[in-house]
Amino acid sequence: MKTVTVVQARMTSSRLPQKVMLPILHKPLLARMLERVKAAKQSGILVVATSTDPNDDEITDFCKVEGYNFFRGHLTDLLDRHYQLAVEYKADAIVKIPSDCPLIDPEIIDKVISKFIDSDHFDYVSNLHPATYPDGNDVEIMSFAALECAWKEAKKDYEREHTTPFIWENPELFSIGNVEWETGLDYSTSHRWTIDYAEDYEFIRRVYEELYSNKHNFGLNDILNLLKQKPEIAEINSAHYGKYWYQNHLEELNHINEYKNKFKTNEEI
């Protein structure tokens, strides 16, 4: 099976523009994240997928200098960008990881990919439906056939922008699997390790400064231990806990009941 891991990235993020190029220990945030994705044993061919927008030239220039594969496609139709990339690379399985996960744990990437490969019957596996890991460990893997079906059938704007909703919103069409945190804990709305806001950047920068020098590929438990020792770091971006793109489509999405319940609970607190 030819597995291609796609990290989609762009410079024109609306909430925190140019976030992928913000410095983390003298390197772009994207570089730090790619180090972690490369450390996953099952990630296969790694490709940075950006757009044809000239604003994203900086991303392709970075890839050329650092020796990373890259692909350019549609700016907002991420489903088309992933599909065209999969065709070009003749992928059997496509792993989708957003570039706003610079603290992603390589072992979690391997767990999701392994479940897909070992099962031999899933069309799609993620750790998001329902999510249990701290936000920012997002991994999705799908067969080329599932991706192609979504590419042909998905019509709604959010289905095109976020690549996979057509798949996980239609479980009658696809065999869907999920990887939950083996601890039984759910930190998906209480720990935020993704980046959309300036406070997220400050949190991520502090984690790298605390952990990277002793262990480059520090993992989930290393971060949790750090936050127990220095809870002031966890507070940096706590105002944004539980914020997902789902919030803008709660009435339209039918298969995120776990998130809706957690969102409702947080709103009531």
| pLDDT confidence bin for 269, thresholds 50/70/90 | very low
| Six token digits for residue 96 | 């989708």
Element at 79 (helix H, strand E): helix 78-89
Least confident of 10-14, 23-27, 210-214, 227-231: 10-14
* Mean pLDDT confidence for 18-31: 97
Whether this model's pTM surpasses 0.85: yes
Mean pLDDT over all residues of the chain?
Answer: 94
User: pLDDT class for 253, splitting at 50, 70, 90?
Assistant: confident
pLDDT tens for residues 35-93?
999 999 999 999 999 999 999 999 999 999 999 999 999 999 999 999 999 999 999 99
Bond preceding residue 130 cis, omega within 30 of 0: yes
pLDDT per position as a tens digit, 220-236 = 999 999 999 999 999 99
Q: How far apart are the first and last CA of the chain?
A: 47
- 122: tokens are 């899933």
Residue type, 173: L
